[in-house]
A and B are shown apart, each in its own frame.
Chain A
Amino acid sequence: MDVTFSVNGERVRVDVEPRHTLADVLREQCGLTGTHLGCEHGVCGACTVLVDGQPARACLMFGVQADGSSVVTVEGLAGDDELHPLQEAFVVHHGLQCGFCTPGMLISAMHLLDTDPEPTREKIREQMSGNICRCTGYIGIVDAIAAAADVMRSGDTGVSDRVSARAQETPSHIEEPKRSPPPGG
């Protein structure tokens, strides 16, 4: 079936087999392999993309259903020569190790910050609960999203510097090590 939709602002027209999911179509026919397929039955969240502004599991939608829609994938986040503040923050705050879950994490986080620019850590954890990460233990991910929220609220200039500056601060979950006085007075 002939299907036309937009991906990251670009119009694409593809001939799809109905049983192919949107994730399959994005990866195999649009060449956008940033969208990852983990479980392929809606549990892991790695394939999360935005469809008409709403987060959706790209493995639970068929490509034919995207006809006429506007899709945003992880490839749509970065500018020409600057990463999105969320991507910067994930790097700086160790929000990823193997990186497999990261595309879905970034898209879910972007939707969260679009709808709530100042989320509490509790809200971040709740909103990100549909994305599974087997490496990080999530602390770095929550730190990264909180840091990116701060940066995005304060405007768009000097994004990298501010994210890096935040990285110098002690993350909220780690206590400052107690320094013992130098021996011998």
Chain B
Amino acid sequence: MKCAPFDYVRAASVDEVIRTLVGANGEGKILAGGQSLVPVLALRMARPSVLVDINRIPGLGTVTRDGSDVQVGTLTRHSVLAEQIHHPLLAEAARWIGHTAIRSRGTAGGSIAHADPSAELPVVAVGTGATVTMAGPGGTRSLPAGELFVSALTTSLAEDEMITSVRFPVPSRWGFAEFARRHGDFALVIAVVAEIEDSVRIALGGVGAIPVRAAAAEQVLANGGTAREAAAAASNEISPTADLHGSAPFRRAMAAEMVRRALAQAGVN
């Protein structure tokens, strides 16, 4: 199918994006990589009257190391994220996103704003305790990733706000494990392990409407438990729902196994 008609604005600055979104009165949408938005438009699941293309705004696509964090510009393509050397966990996660032609266009900020419960970057954001910075009519604000995701495909971003960058702490040890039916498919379960300031954080994707921390599993490790005990705790603390691709018990079992693998990769036994 073809998209419904819309007005196209090629923004030259973040200010212009915000002005255009404000003027669109909730009918505006930001076009970044387009790898999730354009299918939504083509299937007419959304019909925004204005699309604001941010692809030509300079300076939004860089990845820079800043102390113990890595700052990822909102327009950073997944292919760039996969190749950068500052944040190995992000690089590994980016390699799991879609296919080559998707990774060359799709963006970090777009993936996080889209908030698909099975997408890789939101889980890394929650797992590492990333901070999301967004611009709006009242200036910029920052939010922990854990407070950004509200439910499936829904964030606390206002209609006239735009993510400008995401700050990911660099873990001292990390693991990433994903189970999908085919390479490049959306994940059934994603597990991210990140050791930040001597504590091991575990986040899961695909097991609920938003990425979740496996707090009970983290507690098991903090109390000196084994990786296997932590994996069992993780599978017990989640409430996955069944769908076409897997029953709830199957997802629970996969969550335990992905946590076990991610912990093993991180060197946590």
Bound CA span A89–B267, Å: 45
A59 CA / B55 CA spacing, docked (Å): 17
| One of A39-47, A76-84, A90-98, A165-173 contacting the partner | A39-47
Query: In chain B, what residue has the closest Cβ to A107?
Result: B101
Q: CB of A18 within 8 A of chain B?
A: yes
CB of A136 within 8 A of chain B?
no
- B184 lies within 8 A of A130 (CB): yes
In the complex, what residues of A have CB within 8 A of residue B42's CB? 40-41, 59
- Most chain A C-beta atoms within 10 Å of own C-beta, residue among B42, B55, B101, B105: B101
Q: How far is the CA of A54 from the CA of B7 in the complex (A)?
A: 27
By a CB distance below 8 angstroms, the chain A residues around B3 are 19, 21
Within 8 A of A (CB), among B185-203: none
Among A61, A62, A129, the residue within 8 A (CB) of B99 is A129
Interface of B is mostly: loop
A111 CB within 8 Å of chain B: yes
Q: Is B10 an interface residue (CB 8 A)?
A: yes
In the assembled complex, which residues on chain B have CB atoms less than 8 Å from the CB atom of A18?
A: 5-8, 51
A40 to B42 Cα, complex, angstroms? 7
A174 interface contact, C-beta 8 A: no
- Residues in B with CB closer than 8 Å to A41 are 38-39, 42-43
Q: Does A60 contact B (CB under 8 A)?
A: yes
Q: Which residues of chain A have C-beta atoms less than 8 A from B182's C-beta?
A: 129
CA distance A74 to B6 in the complex (A): 30
CB neighbors of B among A104-130 (8 A)? 108, 111-112, 126-127, 129-130
Q: Does B20 belong to the interface (CB within 8 Å)?
A: no
Cβ-defined contact, B39 with A130, below 8 A: no
B1 at the interface (CB under 8 A from A): yes
Q: How far is the CA of A130 from the CA of B105 in the complex (A)?
A: 14
Residues of A within 8 A of B (CB): 1, 17-21, 24, 40-42, 45, 48, 54-57, 59-62, 64-65, 67, 108, 111-112, 126-127, 129-130
A/B interface sample: 30 pairs, CB < 8 A: A18-B6, A20-B2, A21-B3, A40-B2, A40-B42, A41-B39, A42-B38, A42-B39, A45-B99, A45-B101, A48-B101, A54-B104, A54-B105, A55-B101, A56-B101, A57-B105, A59-B38, A60-B34, A60-B35, A60-B38, A64-B53, A65-B31, A65-B34, A65-B55, A67-B10, A108-B101, A112-B100, A129-B99, A130-B99, A130-B101
What residues make up the interface of B, taking CB atoms closer than 8 Å to A?
Answer: 1-8, 10, 31, 34-35, 38-39, 42-43, 51, 53, 55, 79, 98-102, 104-105, 182-184
